[in-house]
Amino acid sequence: MARVREGRLRPVPGVPTSKLRGRENRDGITLVAPVVLVVAAIIVVPIVWTVVLSFQDARYVDVARNGLFNELTLDNYADVLTSPAFWQALVTTVQYSVATTVGSITVGLVAALAFRDRFRFRAPLRAVMLLPYVAPVVATTFVWQVALNPQYGVVNAFGTQVLGWEHPVNFLSAAPTALGTVIVYDIWRYFPFAFLFLGAALTGLSKEIEEAAVVDGATPLQKFWFVVLPQLLPTIALLVLFRMVMAFNEFDDVYLLTGGAAGTQVASVRVFEQLTGSSDIGGASATAAVMAVFLGVALAIYLRLTARQREENR
Amino acid sequence: MSAVSVQSSVLRVLRVVVIVALVAATVLPFVYMLSLSFVRIDDLLRDPLRVLPQLDRITTETYRAVLASEEDGGYGFGRFMRNSAIVAVAASALTVALVVPASYALTRLRFAGRSQVSWLFLAVYLFPTIIIAVPVFVGFQVLGLGSSLVGLVIAYIALTVPVSVHMLRNYLAGIPESIDEAAVIDGASRFQILTRITVPLAMPTIMSTALYSFMIAWNEFLFALLFLSAKQDLWTVSLGLTRLADGQEVSKTVLMAGSVLLTVPIVILYGVAERALTEGLTAGADKG
């Protein structure tokens, strides 16, 4: 950080500027150090450890006895890349991530547009709409499980008794319905997030451009497509990025709803099963490392593409 | 009719439909949760479609059963709630204590490694929590912190710090630096500036940061699952609910009462601080 702003280091009588700058540097490092230490210990060290473990044929016993110093090998990566179950998990993860990202942002956008103009109870209703996002995931997945249960769930009762379904539907225990259900659940859980950010972006737009478009005879749909949507694109691009990363690494929602059964084994759940089921630490670490590489490459491509877009908009 | 007026009237109707549908979709699962928590399990099995119980069939036995300790024939949610409360309060207090000085330094001071710190925080989101959780668990076992609430609190701090720093930093950046400079000229030390000027000015945002980390810690599931599964007396509410739901022996309506107990504190806190929380999270979003 070579940029030093005028005024910050306004000379104090009797104290040389270089000394002030040195003290500022020292104070800054002291104040940030505790946070950095916690994050480094809990996040960075484990990530490095994971990468190291992925090159070792390690079980819990080996890690407990030898720590990080086991024999190095590429076997885990060979196993991961030749395993059909891994590729299946990757495909499932991509399907799940894309569907929940597109779904939650689309619903969030529709919601933000519907809530744009004032109406009675707008503020309380807007607060209520964020409930799926803030409520504990354990509680909401449990409610969905009960509601969708074939024996005593309200959805199947309604379907068979009122809508005339022949059989109750196994929403969470039969492929391919299960993956669809998990996706719908996550759209339900995360659309409030997009709604929140797009709502904030909408209030920041200047009304003048839209009024000018209306004066020029634009219909409401043209106004949305040519005036409002382009202004929202930066926010949408950021949301896509954020949601994709989160969805790609999602564990709780899938694990709690289906336990990874019936064609819903996404990457995180597979890693969890490798760890707890077969206590294959090396294999689990290699799976996670390969997934992180895929995510990193996807992010890099996405940032390249949107960077070009940003340049053109300028 | 012109295209403009056709579209306007269609959209006007559509807007009402969308609002009603979305509000129903968000609220109904919570109504279902609350309502089933007062239903007897045999009533639910007899008629699953009857969501709202008949007035004379309402029961609060579910809440007694779920809250009572095991010795009293219950499921110990009273203790789970205490554990969750301890973990969440400790995590949010410590997060604030760490994040306030750090955010102050990141907005006000130039120091070596300042920009690298922001990148470090981004790394948190690139890897699945599961892969962070396992080495942390193994490391904590070695240190004697595994299977303890202390270990859980430390892990939760690391999970909430990045977003908390983001929220506070945005706010502090909006406070004019000339106030700090005036204090420097009056002879205030860095520590005095922080405690007498920055903290009081940023109090609303500090509160919403605290609430945010409380909610994350209260809702968290994966770390609790890995750290505490074997120790039932340390279970948090989230973990207790899933562990009991995995077995067949606990009735679903009793667990619904447990879900309500898990959700209500969060809804109350959110209700109190909704405005501050959403504004803190979306700070800067309207600038595009």
Q: pLDDT tens-digit profile of A183-232? A: 999 999 999 999 999 998 888 888 888 888 888 888 888 888 888 888 88
Contact A223, A214 (CB under 8 A): yes
Are A135 and B30 an interchain contact pair (Cβ–Cβ within 8 Å)? Answer: yes
Is residue A172 within 8 angstroms of chain B, CB to CB? no
Classify residue A61: in a domain, yes or no.
no
Query: Both A25 and A123 in a single domain?
Result: no
The closest of A95, A142, A170 to A252, measured between CA atoms, is A142
Query: Both A167 and A39 in a single domain?
Result: no
Structural domain count of chain A: 2
Per-residue confidence band for B287, with pLDDT thresholds at 50, 70 and 90 = very low
In this predicted structure, which of A12-26, A58-72, A91-105, A217-231 has the lowest mean pLDDT?
Answer: A58-72
Classify residue B29: in a domain, yes or no.
yes
Extract the tokens encoding A288. 């996670």
Is residue B287 within 8 angstroms of chain A, CB to CB? yes
The C-alpha of B31 sits at a distance from chain A's nearest C-alpha, in angstroms, of: 10
Per-residue pLDDT, B286: 47
B124 to chain A: which residues are within 8 Å by CB? Answer: 39, 43
Query: Both B94 and B211 in a single domain?
Result: yes
The 10 Å Cβ neighbour count of residue B196 is: 13
Extract the tokens encoding A175. 């492929």
pLDDT for residue A101 is more than 90: yes
pLDDT for residue B88 is more than 90: yes
Are A139 and B125 an interchain contact pair (Cβ–Cβ within 8 Å)? Answer: no
Are B262 and A138 an interchain contact pair (Cβ–Cβ within 8 Å)? Answer: yes
pLDDT digits (tens, 9 = 90+) for B108-146: 888 877 777 777 776 666 677 777 877 787 788 778 777
Query: Both B218 and B131 in a single domain?
Result: yes
The C-alpha of B119 sits at a distance from chain A's nearest C-alpha, in angstroms, of: 11
Contact A261, A87 (CB under 8 A): no
Contact B143, B81 (CB under 8 A): no
Average pLDDT over residues A288-300: 84
Whole domain around residue B31: which residue ranges?
3-67
Classify residue A33: in a domain, yes or no.
yes
CATH number of B196's domain? 1.10.3720.10
Residue in chain B closest to A231 (alpha carbons) equals B288
Query: Both A185 and A45 in a single domain?
Result: no
Query: Both A160 and A32 in a single domain?
Result: no
Cα separation, A155 vs A147, whole angstroms: 6
Cα separation, B8 vs B200, whole angstroms: 49
Query: Both B50 and B101 in a single domain?
Result: no
Of A145, A221, A235, the CB nearest to B285: A235
Per the prediction, chain A carries an average pLDDT of 82
Per-residue confidence band for B92, with pLDDT thresholds at 50, 70 and 90 = very high
Query: Both A42 and A121 in a single domain?
Result: no
A200 to chain B: which residues are within 8 Å by CB? Answer: 282, 285-286
pLDDT digits (tens, 9 = 90+) for B184-222: 888 888 888 888 888 888 888 888 888 889 988 999 998
Please identify, among B39, B67, B95, the residue that sits at the C-terminal boundary of a domain.
B67
Instruction: Count contacts between A and B (CB, < 8 Å).
Output: 284
Query: Both B12 and B123 in a single domain?
Result: no
Per-residue confidence band for B74, with pLDDT thresholds at 50, 70 and 90 = confident
Are A147 and B32 an interchain contact pair (Cβ–Cβ within 8 Å)? Answer: yes
Per-residue pLDDT, A312: 65
Query: Both A274 and A222 in a single domain?
Result: yes
Per-residue confidence band for B72, with pLDDT thresholds at 50, 70 and 90 = confident
Classify residue B72: in a domain, yes or no.
no
Are B4 and A220 an interchain contact pair (Cβ–Cβ within 8 Å)? Answer: yes
Classify residue B140: in a domain, yes or no.
yes
Q: Is the peptide bond before A230 cis (omega within 30 degrees of 0)?
A: no
Cα separation, B237 vs B243, whole angstroms: 10
Cα separation, A65 vs A206, whole angstroms: 64
CATH number of A300's domain? 1.10.3720.10
Classify residue A64: in a domain, yes or no.
no
| Strand residues in B117-270 grouped as ranges (E) | none
The closest of B205, B208, B217 to B270, measured between CA atoms, is B208
Classify residue B156: in a domain, yes or no.
yes
Query: Both A35 and A162 in a single domain?
Result: no
Query: Both A169 and A34 in a single domain?
Result: no
Alpha-helix residue ranges (DSSP H) falling in B144-193: 149-173, 177-185, 190-192
Query: Both A141 and A261 in a single domain?
Result: yes
Is residue A297 within 8 angstroms of chain B, CB to CB? no
Query: Both B28 and B154 in a single domain?
Result: no
A265 to chain B: which residues are within 8 Å by CB? Answer: none
Query: Both B63 and B81 in a single domain?
Result: no
Classify residue B271: in a domain, yes or no.
yes
Contact B49, B36 (CB under 8 A): no
The C-alpha of A39 sits at a distance from chain B's nearest C-alpha, in angstroms, of: 5
B98 to chain A: which residues are within 8 Å by CB? Answer: 34-35, 38
Per-residue pLDDT, B285: 52
Structural domain count of chain B: 2
Per-residue pLDDT, B52: 78
Interface confidence, given as ipTM, is: 0.87
Whole domain around residue A117: which residue ranges?
85-313
Per-residue confidence band for A70, with pLDDT thresholds at 50, 70 and 90 = low
The 10 Å Cβ neighbour count of residue B169 is: 21
Lookup result for tokens 């885990």:
A76
Please identify, among B38, B67, B96, the residue that sits at the C-terminal boundary of a domain.
B67
Are A271 and B128 an interchain contact pair (Cβ–Cβ within 8 Å)? Answer: yes
The C-alpha of B3 sits at a distance from chain A's nearest C-alpha, in angstroms, of: 7
Sign of CA dihedral A176, A178, A183, A187: positive
A246 Cα distance to chain centroid: 2
Classify residue A164: in a domain, yes or no.
yes
Query: Both B39 and B114 in a single domain?
Result: no
pLDDT for residue A7 is more than 50: no
pLDDT digits (tens, 9 = 90+) for A152-194: 888 888 888 888 888 888 888 887 888 999 999 999 999 999 9
Residue in chain A closest to B211 (alpha carbons) equals A134
Per-residue confidence band for A12, with pLDDT thresholds at 50, 70 and 90 = low
Query: Both B169 and B33 in a single domain?
Result: no
Classify residue A78: in a domain, yes or no.
no
Query: Both A24 and A165 in a single domain?
Result: no
B281 to chain A: which residues are within 8 Å by CB? Answer: 196
Q: Which residues pair with A12 in a beta bridge?
A: A15
Is residue B155 within 8 angstroms of chain A, CB to CB? yes
Cα separation, B126 vs B124, whole angstroms: 6
Contact B106, B117 (CB under 8 A): yes
